[in-house]
Structures are given as C-alpha cells and as structure tokens.
Amino acid sequence: MQPPEDQAPKPGSAQYYGQVSPADPLAGKDSSQFDFIMNQQPKPKDPLASFSNLSPIKIVAGVLILLILVLILGSIFGGGDPNSKRVVDLMAQTQEITRVTEAIQQDIKDDNTLALTATAESTLTSQQTQFGLYLADTKSKYNKKLLAARQDSATDSQMQTATQNNQLESAYAAYLKTSLENYRNSLAGVFKKTESKTLKNLIDDAYTSVQTLLKSPQLEQT
C-alpha cells in the first residue's frame, strides 16, 4: 500500500490560511508591527489654521465690522456724556418747580407773588432748555419718565389745602424757597464733578439766576 500523497489544503481551512507562499514579501512577518498604521488617529485641527489662511483684506474688514458693532451698542446702551444723569436730574428739578408754579398761578391773588411765579417760571424754563441742548450736543439720551422723576403729588395736596385756607401765597413762597435751595445745591454738586467747560458755564449762569430769585423779598421773608 502506497502512502497517501500530500494533499493541498482546502480553501477556507486553517491550513489554507496558514500556508505561506515564499513569494509573499510579508511571509512569516509579525503583523503586530503594522498595528500603528491601523490605529493611527487623525490629528486635531488647529483652530488658528483657518485664521492664518485669511487674506489681510478680510482680516481688516472683520476688525472694522467689529468696531462698528461696538460703537453702535455703546451708543444704544451706555453712550453719551458721563454727566448726563446729573444734568437730567437738574432738568427734572426745574420741570417740577415749573409744573407746581404753573398749577397755582391762577389762584394767586397777590401781585408781587404773581410776578415772582412768572420770573421763576421763565428762569427755570430757560435753564431746562439750555441743559437739554447740552445733552443733545453730547448725544446723551433721556426720556419723559426721567424728567418726571422729581414729581411729587404731595406738593399738589399742600397747595390745594393752602388755597382753601387762603394761605397759598405763603405756602408757595415756602415751597419755592426750599426747592430753589435744593436745586442750587445740586447745581454746585454737578459743577464740582464735571470737567466740561461748557457745562460749568451753564451751571454758573443757572446758579447766579437762582441766587437772584432767592433774594426776592417774598423768599427772604419766608
């Protein structure tokens, strides 16, 4: 009996895949030495790489757009003169004194007091206009709500009671003197804090006018 001849391994069998051809350049090589090729991960992209590829024109355009946005947002949310809030408060005080003065004028019977109301109204209205122009020049924004911040309904009640008791002239004189003194103090406070020569000149003129009003006989006797 002749020994069986070596048969070629069947495809798909372990012997088949285990057979190595001498012509194979990788024959007998350890495949683990090539694992680094399969396991190599892509390197993360540099976030600055795309920026560095931009042309100088695009970079400059982007910076200009950013600056424009900052200026627009600044003008909307915070722009204007740093003294604007103080100036608006001065205007609120003049508006309230003027409002009360106009409300009681028709009930004043004394000619001297009536003349005082007219002078006070004209003086304070002029000052309010000047302060408003200053805010407009400095591109400072304000609204009616801010101007009405000093409005006090209690004053109206006091004037009504004084009218009923035939004491309106003395009650108004007392109110005007106190209000002008407070306003004068506010003027002095803003004058010390501001560095604007224009605003200092406006306040200086307003202060002098208020001092003149306070020297009126009706107020000096109060």
Number of domains in the chain: 1
Q: Count Cβ atoms within 10 A of the Cβ of residue 142 and give its class: 0-12 exposed, 13-18 middle, 19 or more buried.
A: middle
Nearest alpha carbon to residue 124 among 147, 144, 107, 141:
147
Average model confidence (pLDDT) across the chain: 82
Range of 164's domain? 82-220
> Is the residue at 194 inside a domain?
yes
CATH of the domain at 120: 1.20.1260
Nearest alpha carbon to residue 179 among 123, 110, 107:
123
Report pLDDT for 76. Answer: 47
Q: How far is CA 164 from CA 94, 137, 138, in A?
A: 26, 45, 46
- Asked if the model's pLDDT at residue 162 lies above 70, the reply is yes
- Asked if the model's pLDDT at residue 183 lies above 60, the reply is yes
Tens of pLDDT along 19-76?
A: 545 555 555 555 555 555 555 555 555 555 555 566 677 666 777 787 677 565 554 4
Report pLDDT for 93. Answer: 98
> Is the residue at 204 inside a domain?
yes
**Is pTM beyond 0.75 here?**
no
> Is the residue at 173 inside a domain?
yes
Top-confidence residue, 87 or 27: 87
> Is the residue at 203 inside a domain?
yes
> Is the residue at 46 inside a domain?
no
> Is the residue at 32 inside a domain?
no
> Is the residue at 28 inside a domain?
no
Helices (H), the chain: 14-18, 35-39, 49-52, 56-77, 84-104, 111-137, 144-147, 153-164, 168-193, 197-214, 217-220
> Is the residue at 212 inside a domain?
yes
- Asked if the model's pLDDT at residue 100 lies above 70, the reply is yes
Give, for 138, the enclosing helix (H) or strand (E).
none
Report pLDDT for 222. Answer: 86
